[in-house]
Amino acid sequence: MQITAISNIEKREHADCLVLPFWKGEKGAEAACDLGKLTAYSSLPIKVKDFTGKEGEVLWVYGSEPEESRIALLGLGNREGITIEKLRRAYGALTKAVLKRKCSSLSFLFPNVDLLNSELVAKAIGEGFFLANYVFDALKHDTLKQEPTVRITKVQCITSDQHAVLDALMTIEKTAKGVYLARDLTNGNADDITPQYLGRVAKQLESEYPTIEATVHDRDWIEKQGMGLLLAVGKGSEHPPVFIVAKYKGNPTSSDHTVIVGKGLTFDTGGLNLKPKGNIESQRVDMAGAAVALGTIKALAELSLPVNVTAVIASCENAISSKSYKPGDVYKAYSGKTVEITDTDAEGRLTLADALSWTVKNLQPTRVIDFATLTGSMVVALGSEVFGLMSNSDSLAQALLHSGEKTHERAWQLPLFEEYKEYLKSEIADIKNSAGREGGAILAAIFLQEFVGNTPWAHFDIAGVAFQKEGKRYYPKMATGIGIRLMIDYIESLIPKAQKGF
């Protein structure tokens, strides 16, 4: 992406589109910056009320005098009620409209926002733009010959605060690279995005960034470690499980260490408790937690943040064959705990259990945060706008919730009351993996809690938000990459002020 910022509109380079921002005023749309002679292009649409300046409204006008033949009038909504999220949404809507017009370059006049400083405005604009400027076309062929994909590759911002705006936009682009990686992995064919493929992605990150060190362990290593739950879930597949450890070392002198554990089920049939039609078709996305973990590591390396973060992924397929693990049987976890399998479709918590207990024992983390498309119960409870958070640490939970509000990747905390553990009691093992539908999301987290000991831990169930049937706001259809911006914001909050240059 080529990103530039200039102060003089007369010196701008040619672009496919010029964007003019407007507020929604009481008597009609009002310019959100000095338009100069460009006012002429908006006067008539505003006068006849074809354009009102409401949030996310985009109206195209055309002319021969400016450098750009297309001019987009963009509505930002009410000036008094403007927020970072509303700016994100407006510029996300703009980006989608620009892509529909097959524009690959644009120039935009920076709006004057009294309630927010230039850096915050630029960050909001950048997030709306970069999150929406994504197209997944890796699986198309003939249609690309007829209608080639267009992405915006050149952006020019016209502003008096060039340096702050340019720095903010370039920083957001680095985070977006991690989001794009997560989306690509989640959207890909399950036959392509195998456990071994995820391992190769981790090793590719190692080759690209000197601050990343990746190790991919094979089935033999997993067996020697005694990860009986991971081995059980992966028994039915021709693709053997792998255990991925990708370390980002941004501050080797610090002992503070965050570990992100991602659920890495590259396809989930449900096992012998087979998923029904209508649910099984989208199960390639069951590794979205792993995608968030790898995407966060990539974004951290792009940003060169002075922190230490490790991604841990226990990856396999939950396939069906004569070797598949069986309901009613008992398997032994890495921790030594035995687990009765009451539902082979409650498999993600099994792989996470081995990953969590291995992490706590071998990495001595300051905190552990896991991401998983874990339960349909979470989708029923919170829908597709909010994801669930459960934690054994109030301070960790509150910090993560705060980052979720800032990034609008919002979470809602659910309880981990001791009474719920009674539901997971087993007559033949130490614990059972499922107790039915009631409180399903909470019971899954209660199960995971058994494998983290006293380490501060938080669990994000992203089942409802990782994949969208319809694109909305600044998100495209299919994979969203939600969770990465939240994690970057949270991790940045851990950096001492002295290291931030304050």
pLDDT of residue 36: 87
pLDDT of residue 38: 87
- 3-state class (DSSP) for residue 245: strand
**Amino acid present at 272:** L
Which DSSP string corresponds to 318-334? Answer: E--STT---TT-EEE-T
pLDDT of residue 454: 96
Measured CA to CA in angstroms, residue 502 lies from 116, 493, 497, 499 at distances of 20, 13, 6, 7
Domain range list for the chain: 2-175, 193-500
pLDDT of residue 501: 47
C-alpha dihedral (158, 162, 165, 170), degrees to nearest 10: 100
pLDDT of residue 343: 97
Q: Catalytic positions, please?
A: 275, 349
Q: Which residues contact 310 (CB under 8 A, 6 or more apart)?
A: 245, 246, 247, 248, 257, 258, 259, 260, 359, 363, 365
Q: Is 470 exposed, middle or buried (0-12, 13-18, 19+ CB in 10 A)?
A: exposed
Query: Do residues 413 and 391 touch, judged by C-beta distance below 8 A?
Result: yes
Taking only the tens of pLDDT, the chain with its 502 residues reads: 899 999 888 888 889 999 999 999 988 999 999 998 889 889 999 999 999 999 999 999 987 666 678 999 999 999 999 999 999 999 999 999 999 999 999 999 999 999 899 899 999 999 999 999 999 878 888 887 888 888 999 999 999 899 999 999 999 999 999 999 999 999 999 999 999 999 999 999 999 999 999 999 999 999 999 999 999 999 999 999 999 999 999 999 999 999 999 999 999 999 999 998 888 888 999 999 999 999 999 999 999 999 999 999 999 999 999 999 999 999 999 999 999 999 999 999 999 999 999 999 999 999 999 999 999 999 999 999 999 999 999 999 999 999 999 999 999 999 999 999 999 999 999 999 999 889 999 999 999 999 999 999 999 999 999 999 888 899 999 999 999 999 999 999 999 865 654 3
Q: Which residues contact 204 (CB under 8 A, 6 or more apart)?
A: none
Topology given in CATH for the domain delimited by 2-175: Leucine Aminopeptidase, subunit E; domain 1 (3.40.220)
pLDDT of residue 502: 37
Q: Which CATH class is domain 193-500?
A: alpha beta
